[in-house]
Structure formats: structure tokens, C-alpha cells
A = this chain, B = another copy of it.
Amino acid sequence: MRKEYEVLDDFLHSKGLRHTHQRKKIVDIFLSTEKHVSLDDLFKLVHKEDRTIGYTTVYRTMRLLTDCGLSNEIDFGDGVSRFEHKFGHEHHDHLVCMKCGRFIEVVKQKIEDLQGRLAKEHGFLPTAHRLHIFGICKRCQSRGASSKG
């Protein structure tokens, strides 16, 4: 678990950007957080540890991480961007539960392959894709009607 910092270092260096203790702390917390955090989530986590770090800095740091490829920005269509870091889990799709809001990460290689083929059939050169399947998760099904956790 050192590579992630190197990636950021290289990126900062190559762009003439600087190391700051704020960035270090934000990155530490982000990388140690399992997964999909909104800016607000992350700001709260950071704020708990360091009251002097502002929302704006978290925002800018996340953009930095996204730009250098350490973070992935995801959008479930609820008007809030979420971020997930890219270590351990490479590409994956999401099963999003409409009841409890939780999501499961999944991959099915055959689907990946077919997507590539589908793109090719249309002369399309794919660079990325996003698949969200919405529904009700196992837990919420067995719990019947309501619930929120």
C-alpha cells in the first residue's frame, strides 16, 4: 500500500503542484475509507480529524485525485457525486438498492466482453462504461416493506 501515494506524488510533481498537510490528510482518509463517499461525507470525516481543513480544499483535492486517476467519480443520478478510490477493485458495475440505498460491486466478464463487441458493431471506440442495475437487494426483500438500514 504505497503505490497510491507515488501516483499522487508523480502527478503533483509533473504538474508543478505542491505537497500540503491538508492534501496528505484528505488522501489518507479517502484511501482508508471503503468506498463511495460524497464530498460531504468526506468533508465530515476530514473535519472530525482536523477542524481547520475546509470543504473547498476537500473538493479540490478530490478533483486532483480524479484527475490523476486515483479516484473514480460516480453518479447514481441523485444529484450527488460520489468518489471511490481505485485500489484493490479495478473496474466494476453496481447493483443499487432502491430501498436501503446500499450498492454491491459486481463484474461479469461476459457482459464486459459483449459490451466491447456491441460498441464495435457500431464502429464505436469505447473508452469507459457505466452499468447500474437498480432494484431491491436480498436483505430488503426478506425484510418486506419498510426499513432503511
Interface residues of A (CB under 8 A from B): 75, 77, 93, 95, 97-98, 104, 106, 108, 110-111, 114-115, 117-119, 122-138, 141
Contacts and interface: CB of A to CB of B under 8 A. Distances in A.
Integer count of this chain's copies in the complex? 2
Which 4 interchain pairs have the tightest Cβ spacing?
A123-B138, A126-B135, A129-B133, A75-B77
Contacts of A111: 111, 114-115, 118
A133 B126 CA distance: 6
Given A75-B75, A114-B110, A131-B130, A125 B136 contact: yes
Nearest to A107: B118
B131 A104 contact: no
